[in-house]
């Protein structure tokens, strides 16, 4: 049976450190992996990341680095020194992604720590086909995700962030070892919010997602621990 706790990532999306600590404490027995995103990281100056490490939790640092190759490389190197488990960059130019993969390996070996996973953001789950058309992209979201997943694999990074709606095709093209992280996951009873390409936890796992990211359906639940454990069970039953 799949271990649901190894598949579930909980997003701590708040700009308040004390609220983040309170939520982590509520979930620490039920959740092993937490996502620290841009809002949380900037607002707390990285204190939440340090608190999670003190708790022995795996940290998904979701800052979506996107810049010229040298700047992305330097940011990845700094994140490796923070001993995060997984980090995001945008799928951009081949050279930038290649340098990120290379420096992560080199820095982890220098520090004698496990190399963090690097996954590339393909298309944000808040974007629809119409949104892409508005910004001048003639591809559908699915076509663009698949194109960028192939590019990320060719550049040597570990995987991609994608909607679970496209994950089965990515697994088919890029293989089972290619890491797929799927946000926009909502239990059937949860509100969709600002996400436009959403999938339930069980559907995501059946489609081949390696990890799923869940935020508000857990963190804004009346009982977050119970909500997390319910999703873990749903993953395992899938």
Q: Which residues make Cβ contacts (< 8 Å) with residue 116, sequence separation at least 6?
A: 79, 80, 83, 84, 85, 86, 87, 104, 108
Instruction: Calculate the dihedral angle through the C-alpha atoms of 68, 69, 75, 76, rounding to the nearest 10 degrees.
Output: 150
If one counts every other C-beta atom within 10 angstroms of the C-beta of residue 188, the result is 9
Compute the distance between CA of residue 156 and CA of residue 118 in angstroms, rounded to an integer. Answer: 9
DSSP bridge pairs for 9? 33, 213
Among residues 5, 26, 64, 115, the one annotated as catalytic is 64
| Catalytic residue flag (residue 64) | yes
Looking at the annotation, which residues are catalytic?
64
């Amino acid at each position: 049976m799949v271990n649901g706790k190894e598949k579930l990532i909980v997003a701590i999306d708040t700009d308040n450190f004390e609220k983040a600590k309170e939520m982590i404490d509520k979930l620490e027995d039920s959740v092993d992996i937490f996502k620290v995103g841009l809002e949380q990281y900037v607002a707390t100056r990285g204190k939440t990341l340090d608190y999670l490490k003190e708790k022995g939790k795996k940290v998904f640092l979701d800052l979506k680095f996107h810049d010229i190759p040298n700047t992305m490389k330097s940011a990845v190197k700094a994140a490796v020194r923070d001993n995060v488990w997984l980090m995001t960059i945008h799928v951009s130019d081949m050279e930038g992604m290649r340098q990120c993969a290379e420096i992560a390996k080199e820095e982890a070996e220098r520090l004698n720590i496990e190399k963090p996973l690097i996954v590339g953001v393909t298309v944000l789950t808040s974007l629809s086909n119409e949104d892409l058309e508005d910004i001048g992209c003639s591809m559908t979201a699915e076509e663009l995700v698949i194109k960028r997943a192939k590019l990320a694999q060719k550049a040597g990074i570990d995987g991609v962030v994608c909607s679970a709606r496209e994950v089965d095709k990515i697994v088919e093209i890029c293989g089972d070892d290619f890491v797929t992280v799927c946000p926009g996951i909502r239990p059937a009873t949860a509100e969709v919010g600002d996400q436009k390409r959403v999938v339930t936890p069980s559907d995501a796992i059946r489609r081949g997602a390696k990890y799923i990211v869940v935020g508000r359906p857990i963190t804004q639940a009346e009982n977050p621990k119970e909500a997390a454990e319910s999703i873990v069970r749903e993953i395992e039953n899938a």
